Copies of this chain bind each other. A is one copy, B any other.
Amino acid sequence: MSRPAAPRRQRADATLNRARIVAAARTLFAERGSAVQLPEIARVAGVGIGTVYRHFPTHADLIEAAAEQRFAEIEDFARNECVLHAEPGQALARYLNHVGEVLTADRGLSAAIEAARESTGSEPRGETRARLETVIAELIERDRAAGALRDDCTVADVYLLVGAISATIGNRSGDWRRLLGIMLDGLYPRGTTSTAP
């Protein structure tokens, strides 16, 4: 799945172990947030603790790897649902709504998003992230062209809003849909935003 043709050849068991670790991390993070103990992940994955550290030197690396597939899924949704099937001028609104739903379902994703914001600019890596950024820019362009979205909206703004939604979902209590509603009213001057399901 991930890394179809890795630049450096790995031993077969190494690739397998890596996949097992990521799989275990994904389910555990999703269920109980990114604070799960590494020993537990190792146990579920069926490998030694040292192996986890060999593949993912820092905790953030593992979180990122576990989140990568979700990012890809989100990008997919953006390309298909938002760009193609969303009501005119409502592509970004639909996107933000979807991100909120994914964040609700996967408790570990918030940490990945926050971590991603910290490393912005320092390292150019993250091909998935780069592609996602392109789609977001496209959504903005479309809604702006439709005359619905405010003129000064940038990709950075979208990250800002996603971060806010993410934090609200993380801290329990406080419904993120209401927050998104207010923010969308700020983004779309015309007031045509209907978030109602």
Contacts and interface: CB of A to CB of B under 8 A. Distances in A.
Please classify the interface of chain A as helix (H, G, I), strand (E, B), loop, or mixed, using the class held by over half of its residues.
Answer: helix
Contacts of A174: 117, 156, 159-160, 163
Interface in A154-179: 156-157, 159-161, 163-164, 166-168, 170-175, 178-179
Interface stretch (A22-30, A47-55, A183-191): A183-191
A58 interface: no
A63 B178 CA distance: 28
A160 B179 contact: yes
Contacts of A189: 185, 191
Contact of A167 (B167, B173, B178, B186): B167
Given A161-B179, A178-B157, A178-B160, A117 B186 contact: no
Interface string A101-124: 000000000000010011010000
A182 interface: yes
29 contacts: A114-B171, A117-B171, A117-B172, A117-B173, A118-B171, A118-B173, A150-B185, A156-B174, A157-B178, A159-B174, A160-B168, A160-B182, A161-B179, A161-B182, A163-B167, A163-B168, A163-B171, A164-B164, A164-B167, A166-B167, A167-B167, A167-B168, A167-B171, A181-B186, A184-B186, A185-B186, A185-B189, A186-B186, A189-B191
Interface of A: 114, 117-118, 120, 150, 156-157, 159-161, 163-164, 166-168, 170-175, 178-179, 181-187, 189, 191
In order of increasing CB-CB distance, the 3 nearest A-B pairs are A167-B167, A186-B186, A185-B186
